[in-house]
Amino acid sequence: MAGDRNERNSESAFRGGRNLAGLFNRDKLGFGFVDMIDLSKKRHRLRVVIPAYPAFNIYSRIARTTTALGPVCVATAVNEMEGWDAEVIDENNLRRYGPRDKLIGADHEFLQRHRPADVVGFYGGLTSTIPRLCKLARFYKDKGIVTIAGGQHFVEENIAGALRSGLDYVVIGEAEQTIKELLRAVEGKQDVSQIKGIAYLRDGRTVCTSPREPLTDFDKLPLPDFSLVRYAKISIYPVGRTRGCAMACEFCTVKGKPRYASPERLLEHISFLVETRNARHFFIVDDLFGQQRDETIRLCNMLRDYQKGINRKLVITVQIRLDKARDPELLAAMQQASIKTVAIGFESPIEEELAAMNKRVRAEDMLSLTRTYHKFGFLVHGMFIFGYPKTEGVNFNMPVKERAEYFRSFIKKAKIDTVQVLLPVPLPGTELRRRLEKQNRIYSTDDVGWEYYDGNFPLFEPDEPMTADQMQNSVKKIMGRFYQFKYIFLIAASIFSFPGLVFFLHNLEFGWRRWYRAWRNRLIRFGGWITIRRWTSQFRNSDFSQKLHKAKEHLRTQAERA
Q: What is the pLDDT along the chain (562 residues), one digit of tens a residue?
A: 333 333 333 222 222 222 223 223 333 333 333 356 776 678 999 999 999 999 888 788 899 999 999 999 999 999 999 999 999 999 999 999 999 999 999 999 999 999 999 999 999 999 999 999 999 999 999 999 999 999 999 887 899 999 999 999 999 999 999 999 999 999 999 999 999 999 999 999 999 999 999 999 998 999 999 999 999 999 999 999 999 888 889 999 888 889 999 999 999 999 999 999 999 999 999 999 999 999 999 999 999 999 999 999 999 999 999 999 999 999 999 999 999 999 999 999 999 999 999 888 888 899 999 999 999 999 999 999 999 999 887 888 899 999 999 999 999 999 999 999 999 999 999 999 999 999 999 999 999 999 999 999 999 999 988 999 999 999 999 999 999 999 998 887 777 666 665 555 655 566 567 778 888 999 999 999 999 999 999 999 999 999 999 999 999 888 888 7
How far apart are alpha carbons 284 and 319 in whole angstroms? 7
Neighbours of 488 (CB within 10 A): 15
In CATH, what is the architecture of 11-208?
A: 3-Layer(aba) Sandwich (3.40)
Tell me the domain boundaries of the chain.
11-208, 235-481, 483-562
DSSP readout, 248-288? --TT-S--S--EE--HHHHHHHHHHHHHHH---EEEE--SS
One-letter amino acid identity for 495?
A: I
* Residue 534 backbone dihedrals phi, psi, to 5 degrees: -65, -40
| CB distance 352 to 388 below 8 Å | no
How far apart are alpha carbons 129 and 453 in whole angstroms? 9
Burial 179-196 (b: 16+ CB within 10 A, else e): bbbbbbbbbbebebeebe
DSSP readout, 176-213? HHHHHHHHHHHTTSS-GGG-SSEEEEETTEEEEPPPPP
Nearest to 67 by CA among 118, 149, 123, 24: 123
Helix 508-540 vs helix 487-496: angle between axes, to the nearest 10 degrees?
160
Count CA within 13 A, CB hemisphere, residue 100. 11
| Total residue count of the chain as it appears in this document | 562
One-letter amino acid identity for 391?
A: T
How is domain 235-481 classified at the CATH fold level?
A: TIM Barrel (3.20.20)
11-208 and 235-481 in the same fold: no
Burial 439-476 (b: 16+ CB within 10 A, else e): eebbbebebbebbbbbbbbbbbbbbeebebebbbebbe
> Running DSSP on this structure, what letter comes out for residue 443?
P
What's the maximum distance between 2 C-alpha atoms anywhere in the chain?
A: 80
How far apart are alpha carbons 277 and 44 in whole angstroms? 27
